[in-house]
């Protein structure tokens, strides 16, 4: 075993298998929180009274051990209010590989947008924008730490919501640390269909812009309430990213937006959604170099939220919003590699086109 991984394990509380079996009532099906591609997650209660989520990895083989240790290695060195807390794990030599996290009570963002909780609580536009900002904040932290971390599986199923609908980004099994002064890692593509960066898929080069692409898909899920992949949609629209790019190029943003968000009835909301759609469009550029860094995305989203909350904007929203609301509609069809004309870059190198 890698000495650095052993060190990470030493920094993490190690639970016995029996302790976690008891906490989950012998992994009772009634305590199941969800299934993933490589695991099942159960709700449990530790002897000290803490309610936890216990991830049970399928198959104790080399690849699962690698993912298990990878998650421990990364989460043991990170501390951020928007990242899920890892409480501990079993030994990698245990009969089963188990990871223990804080319990995040409101489930996944995917469940609220287009899953089992969709009808329980409608996420309003202000709530969705705040979720986008908090997710971008978590990713900006990951990309800024030393060494930087690429999550590599950003999706609405990995964005958890607490009792107040604040974000906790989860699942670091596929994440990678980027060595200092290295721009990318050459590795076989891994991730989730619908969210996977096409440049990474084609060139086998993983960069921080791969997370930006995936986040762009999440933004369009927040705007549309549609899943990233839906086999029941028309063939050309099975992939939400392709659907969004095509509709925006045709000036059909209105047809994308979830009707429950007030896009047609409230001019301030209309302007904010239009601007977030532009951010998402930039994130989905097929050329990674054309995508903004996540820090810039975060700053723009924060500015959109702040601008939309100003009292004078709410009073004069109709008059002030029309130009921006028409921005995408008036744009001639263009290549996905192009840049939205009114994007104001907040990077150190001025790139504004106006």
- Assess whether 200 and 286 both reside in one domain: yes
Would you say residue 270 lies in a domain? yes
- Assess whether 45 and 118 both reside in one domain: no
pLDDT band of residue 87 (cuts 50, 70, 90) is very high
pLDDT band of residue 11 (cuts 50, 70, 90) is confident
Task: Using DSSP, state whether 74 is helix, strand or coil.
Answer: helix
Q: Which of these, 52, 25, 55, 54, lies nearest to 37 by C-alpha position? A: 55
pLDDT band of residue 265 (cuts 50, 70, 90) is very high
Task: Using DSSP, state whether 264 is helix, strand or coil.
Answer: coil
More confident: 317 or 318 = 317
Per-residue pLDDT at 313: 57
- Assess whether 208 and 86 both reside in one domain: no
- Assess whether 35 and 59 both reside in one domain: yes
Average pLDDT over residues 339-345: 40
- Assess whether 195 and 285 both reside in one domain: yes
Average pLDDT over residues 107-118: 86
Q: List the structure tokens of 307.
A: 């601008």
C-alpha span between 242 and 229 (Å, rounded): 10
pLDDT (tens digit, 9 = 90+) per residue, 169-208? 999 988 998 876 677 787 878 889 999 999 988 888 899 9
Global confidence as pTM: 0.86
Would you say 225 and 127 are in contact if contact means Cβ atoms under 8 Å apart?
Answer: no
Per-residue pLDDT at 312: 64
Rounded to 10 deg, the angle between the 267-283 and 294-309 helix axes is 180
- Assess whether 163 and 115 both reside in one domain: yes
Query: Structural domain of residue 305, as residue ranges?
Result: 109-325
Would you say residue 354 lies in a domain? no
- Assess whether 257 and 300 both reside in one domain: yes
pLDDT (tens digit, 9 = 90+) per residue, 286-314? 999 999 999 999 999 999 999 988 776 55
pLDDT (tens digit, 9 = 90+) per residue, 118-150? 666 679 999 999 999 999 999 999 999 999 999
Would you say residue 161 lies in a domain? yes
Out of 102, 124, 159, pick the residue that ends a domain.
Answer: 102
Per-residue pLDDT at 38: 80
More confident: 261 or 203 = 261
Per-residue pLDDT at 309: 84
C-alpha span between 275 and 149 (Å, rounded): 28
More confident: 223 or 11 = 223
- Assess whether 261 and 118 both reside in one domain: yes
Per-residue pLDDT at 42: 97
Would you say residue 227 lies in a domain? yes
Out of 71, 102, 133, pick the residue that ends a domain.
Answer: 102
C-alpha span between 208 and 151 (Å, rounded): 8
Average pLDDT over residues 267-277: 97
Would you say residue 342 lies in a domain? no
Q: Which of these, 70, 94, 97, 74, lies nearest to 84 by C-alpha position? A: 74
Per-residue pLDDT at 310: 79
- Assess whether 153 and 135 both reside in one domain: yes
Per-residue pLDDT at 208: 96
Q: Which long-range contacts (CB under 8 A, 24 or more apart) does 289-293 make?
A: 289/209, 290/337, 290/339, 291/209, 291/212, 291/213, 291/216, 292/212, 292/343, 292/345, 292/347, 293/143, 293/208, 293/209, 293/212, 293/347
**Ramachandran sector of residue 24 (left: φ over 0; alpha: ψ -120 to 50; beta: rest):** alpha
Is residue 337 flagged as an active site residue?
Answer: no
Task: Identify the CATH number of the domain in which residue 82 sits.
Answer: 3.30.200.20
Least confident of 8-12, 287-291, 324-328: 324-328
Q: What percent of the chain has pLDDT over 90?
A: 66
More confident: 207 or 332 = 207
More confident: 343 or 54 = 54
- Assess whether 81 and 144 both reside in one domain: no
- Assess whether 46 and 67 both reside in one domain: yes
Per-residue pLDDT at 315: 55
Would you say residue 348 lies in a domain? no
Out of 86, 102, 118, pick the residue that ends a domain.
Answer: 102
Place of tokens 């933004």: 219
Per-residue pLDDT at 349: 34
**DSSP assignment of 111-164:** HHHHSTTTTT----HHHHHHHHHHHHHHHHHHHHSSS-EE-S--SGGGEEE-TT
Would you say 272 and 125 are in contact if contact means Cβ atoms under 8 Å apart?
Answer: yes
pLDDT at 40 exceeding the cut of 80: yes
C-alpha span between 329 and 317 (Å, rounded): 19
Would you say 321 and 270 are in contact if contact means Cβ atoms under 8 Å apart?
Answer: yes
Total domains present in the chain: 2
Would you say residue 170 lies in a domain? yes
- Assess whether 71 and 191 both reside in one domain: no
C-alpha span between 238 and 231 (Å, rounded): 6
Would you say 279 and 291 are in contact if contact means Cβ atoms under 8 Å apart?
Answer: no
pLDDT at 267 exceeding the cut of 70: yes
Annotated active-site residue in 2, 31, 153, 208? 153
Would you say residue 15 lies in a domain? no
Per-residue pLDDT at 6: 56
Task: Identify the CATH number of the domain in which residue 155 sits.
Answer: 1.10.510.10
């Amino acid at each position: 075993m890698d000495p650095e991984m052993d060190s990470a394990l030493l920094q993490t509380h190690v639970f016995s298998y029996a302790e976690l079996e008891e906490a989950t009532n012998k992994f009772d099906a009634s305590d199941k929180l969800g299934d993933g591609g490589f695991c099942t997650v159960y709700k449990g209660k530790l002897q000290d009274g803490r309610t936890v989520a216990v991830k049970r990895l399928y198959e104790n083989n080399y690849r699962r051990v690698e993912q298990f240790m990878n998650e421990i290695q990364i989460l043991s060195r990170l501390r951020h209010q928007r990242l899920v807390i890892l409480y501990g794990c079993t030994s990698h030599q245990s009969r089963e590989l188990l990871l223990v996290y804080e319990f995040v009570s409101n489930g996944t963002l995917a469940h609220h947008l287009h899953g089992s909780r969709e009808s329980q609580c409608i996420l309003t536009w202000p709530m969705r924008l705040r979720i986008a900002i908090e997710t971008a904040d978590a990713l900006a932290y990951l990309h800024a730490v030393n060494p930087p971390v690429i999550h590599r599986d950003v999706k609405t199923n990995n964005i958890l919501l607490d009792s107040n609908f604040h974000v906790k980004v989860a699942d670091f099994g596929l994440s990678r640390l980027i060595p200092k002064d290295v721009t990318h890692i050459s590795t076989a593509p891994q991730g989730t269909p619908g969210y996977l960066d096409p440049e990474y898929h084609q060139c086998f080069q993983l960069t921080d812009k791969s997370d930006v692409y995936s986040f762009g898909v999440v933004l369009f899920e927040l705007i549309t309430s549609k899943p990233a992949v839906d086999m029941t949609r028309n063939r050309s629209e099975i992939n939400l990213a392709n659907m969004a790019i095509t509709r925006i190029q045709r000036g059909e943003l209105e047809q994308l937006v979830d009707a429950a968000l007030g896009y047609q009835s409230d001019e301030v909301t209309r302007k904010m959604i239009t601007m977030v759609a532009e951010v998402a469009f930039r994130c989905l550029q097929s050329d990674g170099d054309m995508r903004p860094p996540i820090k810039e995305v975060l700053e723009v989203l924060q500015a959109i939220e702040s601008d939309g909350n100003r009292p004078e904007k709410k009073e004069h929203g109709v008059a002030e919003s029309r130009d921006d609301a028409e921005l995408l509609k008036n744009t001639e069809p263009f290549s996905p590699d192009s840049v939205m004309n009114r994007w104001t870059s907040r990077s150190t190198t001025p790139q504004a086109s106006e």
